[in-house]
Amino acid sequence: MNSPTTDNPVNESLRRRVAKLLVVRASGHLSDQQRRYPQWELPKSELQRLLRDGVGGVILLGGSAVELQQRTQQLQSWSEQRLLFCADVEEGVGQRFEGASWLVPPLALGRLHQREPELAVTLTERYGRCTGEQARRCGLNWVLGPVCDVNNNPVNPVINVRAWGEDPNSASALAVAFLEGLKQAGVLGCAKHFPGHGDTTRDSHLYLPVLPHSRERLEQIELPPFRAAIAAGVDSVMTAHLVLPELDPQQPATLSKAVLTDLLRRQMGFNGLVVTDALVMEAISARHGAAEAAVLAFEAGADLILMPANADAAIDGLCDGFSSGRLPLARLDESVQRRAHALASIPTSTPSGPIVSAAEQALETELVRHSITVSGAAVQPNAGINLVRVDALLPSAAVLSGWSPALRLPEAQGFRSIVLHGEGLSPWSGQPEAPLALDRLGDGAVMLQLFLRGNPFRAGRDAQEPWAAAIQQLIALNRLAGVVIYGSPYLWDSLQPVLPSDCPAAYSAGQMQEAQHQVLTALFPTASPACNSSAFTD
């Protein structure tokens, strides 16, 4: 869709001011052919036009950290104004851009906070500073974190390990510590997903969740981390695509004046930027077109429109709203001023030097060390099977490659690797009591490694896989060499009761190669018999 032309300078001025409030999606790669999600990531020609016409922000994903440095410079060169550059780097810049630090999931520190609160707070502040400083070196100026959702629902398919805590105290303390680190680094932060996405069982990327809690319950569980973040001076708050019938039975929070204006602005006193979660998510896009979604969000109290399904339609819809009087121009002035104030509060320069410092590399190692658990005996070298289950949506190059410890270390002990993902070999027999089709996998003891965590877009499908029954099947056949869980603490908690006390077993909150290395060097190579049924019966 081409940008509309007009001879009316008043309309053109309005259009450019409205465009400032949009944040569009782009790949971190320089080439259009490298786009990982072309249905969402605009091509170069569209980006150039939109930025030239006044669009004020870009959210990036994919590529290397070095490439991101070049990409942000390229994008800025296409605009006459200073741009907002953001990314969902909740677990460090390396979570999205190779070559930077990929840190353990926040929930690892939330659980550490239950045992050693002072250590957890100190590490979280360093975590935030590491994330912020690497973001700045890559050209980003806005970190879309911390997640302030309280993950008090273990089957939450979309928040899960992204949360800083499973209770309001931990989530609040660590969100504030993370924000302090970002502030030291000189980048903007964002508390999300208001008013709380931690107790949902549906993924708002795919569905519209409902949170049927009273205001009193929200004050006890969901709202405290956001109140703490606001008190700590958080720059922005991101909305949640979910319905809270007790506050607004008609509209999701992103489109609700009762939630964004009455609760967040007036009652909680937040004066910074309110940004929508991505409007392309099915919870919104399945119900509203791009123009109406943008208008409803702005009408509700949002300042910034993140990832509209169609940027031109969103701008047109907002301009029509202001021209018709449906939206007051005073609100546009407020939002533009909030954006300018946020950008003025942070440095304009991009720091020089390596993307990852020695201190930051040491932090990666230290965080992993505090978020792993190893139990039982060591794994015995064996000409068996290294069965690795990896989520197909994970960035596989970062998790598994030819040199990944999860493959290399077991193979050095004689195991043959089989990697299971969303496509290819199915390990399942269809039998509830013996779910693994062992005839397809081969002979020998099985070293089981599961890379599973709560992941958006999966709709909780991984939680339905019968790993407890599979472990019991291997135990009964004297074929279980060991078990490692990477990611979900809830899966680890659920499997521990079926593991014999002497079975080599480990849990790591992180899935990155440093986590694999620390876990597997602890399990190998001391000889140990395979777990057997006699060890299990008690």
List residues with catalytic annotation.
Answer: 205, 277
Q: Which two tokens stand for residue 212?
A: 């049927």
Cβ neighbours, 10 Å, residue 237: 27
Q: Which two tokens stand for residue 21?
A: 């409030």
> φ, ψ for residue 275 (rounded to 5)?
-120, 140
In DSSP terms, 24 is beta-bridged to 58
- Tokens 């603490």: give the residue: 489
Angle at 389 between CA 383 and CA 393, to 5 degrees: 150
Q: Which of 30, 86, 26, 14 is nearest to 50 (CA)?
A: 26
Strands (E), 296-404: 305-306, 372-375, 385-390
Length reported for the chain: 538
Terminal CA-CA length for the chain: 69
Using an 8 Å Cβ cutoff, are 301 and 265 in contact? yes
How many Å apart are CA 153 and CA 144, to the nearest integer? 22
How many Å apart are CA 454 and CA 155, to the nearest integer? 8
Q: Which of 61, 54, 85 is nearest to 188 (CA)?
A: 85
Strands ordered across the beta sheet of 273-275: 190-194, 236-239, 273-275
Using an 8 Å Cβ cutoff, are 89 and 129 in contact? no
- Tokens 């201190």: give the residue: 359
In DSSP terms, 305 is beta-bridged to 22
How many Å apart are CA 184 and CA 360, to the nearest integer? 15
Angle at 276 between CA 274 and CA 282, to 5 degrees: 165
DSSP one-letter string for 475-511: HHTT-EEEEEEEE-HHHHHHHGGGS-TTS-EEEES--
Strands ordered across the beta sheet of 480-487: 372-375, 505-508, 480-487, 446-452, 385-390, 416-420
Q: Which two tokens stand for residue 325?
A: 């009087």
Q: Which of 83, 106, 84 is nearest to 95 (CA)?
A: 106
How many Å apart are CA 263 and CA 247, to the nearest integer? 9
Amino acid in the structure at residue 167: D
Using an 8 Å Cβ cutoff, are 279 and 297 in contact? yes
